[in-house]
């Protein structure tokens, strides 16, 4: 559940930065469509991971495959989905452009979701992650403008993915093989 709340905070930070960058209703409406679709995917994966009785490595594989397929389907059908939300062509074009960037991060999100279910982070860690995301967003906005804002979520998810790989796979080889902590589940 904390994952979804943190994701909503990330979305608010992104919206605030887009608003500060350019008070353009097309950008704001386009990002609303993308964030709704992104949230639907994360909600589905969270629900699956919470209700499933399978082992964690299997859950990770299934949820990652689901998010990859979801990303591909959205990449193909994003224009039609955006038309469902709005008839304005500018919003649809921005959603298509930004969607290609935004949904790159979905496959990495399953690792972050599974990690928080294995060992729920303390509140101060969540706060630090939000601050890190804010800093990444501000820096990328400063150097790359609107593209920097759009790339902030995929960039953050990739950093989280690398951190998880390091801490759980490489660092925990001593604790039971390649999968480390992921093998020790019901």
The winner for highest mean pLDDT among 19-23, 93-97, 171-175 is: 93-97
Higher model confidence: residue 186 or residue 118? 118
Which of 64-78, 85-99, 126-140, 156-170 has the lowest average pLDDT? 156-170
How confident is the prediction for the chain on average, in pLDDT? Answer: 82
Token reading at 123 = 């509140």
C-alpha separations of 123 from 26, 39, 118 in Å: 35, 21, 15
- The 8-class DSSP code of residue 24 comes to -
Which position has the higher pLDDT, 5 or 161?
161
Q: Find out whether 30 and 8 touch, Cβ atoms under 8 Å.
A: no
Over 80: is that where the pLDDT of 151 sits? Answer: yes
Burial class (CB in 10 A: 0-12, 13-18, 19+), 177: exposed
Summarize the confidence of residues 115-123 as an average pLDDT.
76
pLDDT value at 36 more than 50:
yes
Does 182 have pLDDT greater than 70?
no
Give pLDDT tens digits for 84-115: 888 889 888 988 998 888 888 888 888 888 77
Asked whether the CA dihedral 86, 92, 94, 95 is positive or negative, the reply is positive
Where do the domains of the chain lie? 2-183
Q: DSSP secondary structure string, 96-162?
A: HHHHHHHGGGHHHHHHHHHHHHHSPPPHHHHHHHHHHHHHHHHHHHHHHTHHHHHHHHHHHHHHHHH
Q: pLDDT digits over 38-87, tens only? A: 888 888 888 887 787 777 778 888 888 898 899 898 889 988 988 888 88
Nearest to 71 by CA among 48, 36, 39, 100: 100
Give residue 172's pLDDT band: very low, low, confident or very high (50, 70, 90).
low
In Å, what is the CA distance from 47 to each residue of 1, 39, 41, 157? Answer: 9, 12, 10, 20
Mean pLDDT of 3-15: 81
For the CA atoms of 19, 22, 26, 27, the dihedral, rounded to the nearest 10 degrees, stands at: -60
- Specify the pLDDT at position 173: 66
Overall size of the chain counted in residues: 186
Q: Please give the structure tokens belonging to residue 146.
A: 């609107």
């Amino acid at each position: 559940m904390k994952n979804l709340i943190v994701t909503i905070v990330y979305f608010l930070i992104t919206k605030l930065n887009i608003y500060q960058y350019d008070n353009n209703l097309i950008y704001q409406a386009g990002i609303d469509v993308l964030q709704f679709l992104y949230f639907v995917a994360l909600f589905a994966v969270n629900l699956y991971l919470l209700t499933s009785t399978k082992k964690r490595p299997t859950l990770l594989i299934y949820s990652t495959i689901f998010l990859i397929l979801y990303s591909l389907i959205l990449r193909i059908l994003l224009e039609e989905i955006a038309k469902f939300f709005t008839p304005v062509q500018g919003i649809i074009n921005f959603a298509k452009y930004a969607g290609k960037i935004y949904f790159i991060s979905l496959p990495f999100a399953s690792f972050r979701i599974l990690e928080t279910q294995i060992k729920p982070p303390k509140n101060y860690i969540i706060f630090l992650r939000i601050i890190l995301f804010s800093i990444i967003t501000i820096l990328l906005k400063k150097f790359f403008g609107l593209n920097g804002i759009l790339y902030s979520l995929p960039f953050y998810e990739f950093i989280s993915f690398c951190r998880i790989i390091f801490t759980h796979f490489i660092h925990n080889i001593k604790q039971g093989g390649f999968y480390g902590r992921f093998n020790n589940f019901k």
